Every structure is written in C-alpha cells, then in structure tokens.
Amino acid sequence: MALGNLILDETGQVMGMRVLSNNADGVSDEVSLQTTGTIRSVPENTLWTYTILTRPYGSLQGGGNGIMTTQDGDVISLIGN
C-alpha cells in the first residue's frame, strides 16, 4: 500500500559537535549538520544546529534551529524539537 508522494528526501553529515555541560541533569551536546536533497522535487540545502540533553536515566531532550534554501530561491526557517 502506497502512502503518498515523497515530500522530502535528504542526506547529510555532522559538521561539528561540542559538549556544553556535564552535570547532575545529564550531558548537554551541541550538534551542527548540513544536508542536501529535494523538497517536492526541488533541490535544497539545509543547515541545522541543535542541542541534545542526555539524562542520567537514558532519555533524550533536544531542540534546534535551521535554515533551508532551495534552488528556486525560497528560504525556509526551521524549528525542531
């Protein structure tokens, strides 16, 4: 059963990582990555920076911001949690 048309297809790589803190709340890391792909068949490039808190009991909490630019000249602001 087909679910529908593909909206976003991208691949990428981590450009940098750093530890922000390590305390009783857990370990907080910052990750920057770059992706390329297509959104609705239009070529795009995306840059992301987000933080991840790994809590002592194993759960994760994270969020970040990014910007996507398309070959058509569109600029899209991204927020993720």
Structural domain boundaries, residue 19? 8-80
Residue 63 · residue 80 · CB < 8 Å: yes
Residue 68 falls inside a structural domain: yes
Residue 17 falls inside a structural domain: yes
Residue 3 falls inside a structural domain: no
Residue 1 falls inside a structural domain: no
Which residues, listed in sequence order, are joined to residue 23 by a DSSP beta bridge? 26
Res. 54: pLDDT tops 90: yes
Number of domain units in the chain: 1
Residue 55 falls inside a structural domain: yes
Q: What angle do CA 20, 25, 27 make, to 5 degrees?
A: 35
Residue 59 falls inside a structural domain: yes
13-29 confidence digits (pLDDT tens): 999 999 999 999 999 99
Res. 2: pLDDT tops 90: no
CA 60 – CA 31 distance, rounded (Å): 14
- pLDDT (0 to 100) of residue 1: 56
Q: Which residue has the tokens 């907080």?
A: 28
- pLDDT (0 to 100) of residue 46: 98
Predicted TM-score (pTM) of this structure: 0.81
Residue 2 falls inside a structural domain: no
